[in-house]
Amino acid sequence: MSTPEPVSLTVHSVDTPDLGNAQLVQQRQTRMGRMKMLLVLLVCASPVVASYLTYFVIRPGARSNYGELILPTRALPAALALQTLDGQPVKASSLHGQWLLLAVGASTCGADCEKRLFLQRQLREMLGRERDRIDKIWLITDSGTPTPALVTAIEHPAQATLLRVDAQEVAQWLSPAPGHRLEDHLYVVDPMGEWMMRLPADADPARAKRDLDRLLRASSFWDRPGR
């Protein structure tokens, strides 16, 4: 009877994870994710850029704009502290999705304020069937009670919003033309929340309307009426 041979055990080494490679893979994935996000943003922004170039930079027939283009545009700050008249917070992002014709002023509405109220209302109504694509926004920069003239004017016709904002905060986003006050202008903000045009003080309604007509024609495929 043969003697049984002893059983031998072989221990194979187990590869340890290469943490350096794992980190490199993770970094590459992060970079790819960021690149994809940038591409998405570029695709979303391309209609805006094309609109501005077509109607205000490439000026067929020596066309020129009346309002002053803001280049580069200035994004509506996400942290801008907006409130309703009764103190309820309003997210700045809620103003996205539609063109804004925006004014800034105190709660007391004098003669100059009433002129801008009339111009703001007149410009929107002059757009006819396209008027529902523009929201009128009035930003009140103090804590006073709005005068009846301001409340009545901004609420007629529909699609008007009255909000409170800190004067210093809004001045970091919007700015007047040299020699003017923030309150002297109407400001045009595109549906992505980008301030892109400043209308002159005491603007001519007919000339300002032509600018708005061009913008609405150029953007008919990327904003949504009646936000």
Place 84 in a pLDDT band, splitting at 50, 70 and 90: very high
* Residue 61: per-residue pLDDT: 46
Residue 149's φ and ψ, nearest 5 degrees, are -60, -40
Q: Is the pLDDT of residue 11 over 60?
A: no
Nearest alpha carbon to residue 185 among 173, 207, 201, 162: 201
Compare 31 and 55 and report the one with higher pLDDT: 31
Q: What would the mean pLDDT of 172-197 be, rounded to a whole number?
A: 96
Nearest alpha carbon to residue 188 among 206, 202, 209, 171: 209
Residue 162's φ and ψ, nearest 5 degrees, are -110, 120
pTM for the model stands at: 0.73
Q: Is the pLDDT of residue 62 over 50?
A: no
pLDDT tens, residue by residue, 85-110: 999 999 999 999 889 999 999 999 88
Q: What would the mean pLDDT of 202-209 be, rounded to a whole number?
A: 95
Provide the residue count of the chain.
227
DSSP 128: G
Residue 210's φ and ψ, nearest 5 degrees, are -60, -40
User: Per-residue b/e over 65-90, b at no fewer than 16 CB within 10 Å?
Assistant: bbbeebeebbebeeebebeeeeeeeb
CA distance 133 to 117: 18
Helix (H, G, I), strand (E, B) or coil at 109: coil
Helix (H, G, I), strand (E, B) or coil at 22: helix
DSSP 42-106: HHHHHHHHHHHIIIIIS-GGG---SSEEEEEEEEPPTT--EE-TTS-EE-GGGGTTSEEEEEEE-
Burial (CB count <10 Å: 0-12, 13-18, 19+), residue 216: middle
* Residue 38: per-residue pLDDT: 60
Site of tokens 């800190």: 166
Q: Is the pLDDT of residue 50 over 50?
A: yes
Both tokens of 39, joined, read 């591409």
- Give the mean pLDDT of the chain: 81
One-letter amino acid for residue 98 of the chain: Q
pLDDT tens, residue by residue, 131-167: 988 999 999 999 999 988 788 877 665 567 899 999 9
* Residue 195: per-residue pLDDT: 96
- The stretches of 164-204 forming alpha helices (DSSP H) are 167-171
The domain limits of the chain are 67-218
Architecture, CATH, for domain 67-218 = 3-Layer(aba) Sandwich (3.40)
